[in-house]
Structure 1
């Protein structure tokens, strides 16, 4: 087995807060959350609700189970979120006639119409990063690889 780069780094370096990649990612996530909160206020959406709407705008009606899988949300988080979107008149949930255990989420006319108003959100977020398109795409690719590696590591540790 080849030596891993971490073997040559003293413990003190790893035990510093500014040396924790998870802290940097969490700080960036919180900063994104704060910006999204301000930008999404005009749409009367929370960030998780916005993600649901993005997926429904992109893919159309889909089973709630699939929504949860794509968004990495469990049903305990997703169900109340969908309930609030339904109460706002943006989404409706329909139970499958073939399998009563399966529920799908559908956009209402108001939910579909909201897409036009939401179109500026990604541009405003991208502009706030100060990154160009190539930098954003590179960062997304790196984060996707990181997520896959961490998912695989979690499975092997379990």
Structure 2
């Protein structure tokens, strides 16, 4: 027995599916570029935060990445094992873990500078178009954040 779907429930009409499937494909485009750097996509995001703000805490990086600090611990341990960062307990509060780039982590920044141009080329869009889309998505994220 076949169910006749209403237009509101057709998969191709769903904004959430367009966003989800685009995100999946975006990470697939990133994958070979990041493999050359020895990073996964989540590790790349964490490294970008550290390249902007070296010497931050796990809580601060968690806030920037909109994730739970506990879920970052395995990722950060792997970055430390790879020699990209150090994790040390704060002298002021031993519950706080501070993150610092190593020389190898700073050197990786130079290698990663080619990634954005590759991603831009893969999108087939101009930087202006992507900036506009990013601004819309950030606004949407803000609205959704208020709803949860």
Report what 1:100 is aligned to. 94
Take 1:102 and 1:76, find their aligned partners in 2: how far apart are those partners? 12
The yes-or-no answer on 1:137 pairing with 2:131 is yes
Deviations 1:83-124 (A, max 9, x none): 000000001001100111111111001000111100000111
- Quick one: distance in 2 between partners of 1:111 and 1:131? 30
Q: Deviations over 1:38-90 (max 9, x none)?
A: 11110010000001111111111101001011101212320000000000000
Partner SS, residue 98 of structure 1: coil
Instruction: Tell me how far apart the structure 2 counterparts of residues 53 and 153 of structure 1 sit (CA, whole Å).
Output: 29
Partner of 2:146: 152
Where in structure 1 are there 5+ consecutive unaligned residues? Answer: 1-10
- Identify unmatched segments of 5+ residues in structure 2: none
Q: How many residues align?
A: 144
Q: In angstroms, what is the RMSD of aligned CA positions?
A: 1.1
TM norm structure 2: 0.94
SS at match of 1:62: coil
4+ residue segments displaced more than 3 Å: none
User: Could you tell me the TM-score, scaled by structure 1's length?
Assistant: 0.88
Q: Tell me the residue number matched to 2:35.
A: 41
Partner residue, 2:56: 62
Find the counterpart in structure 2 of residue 7 from structure 1.
Answer: none
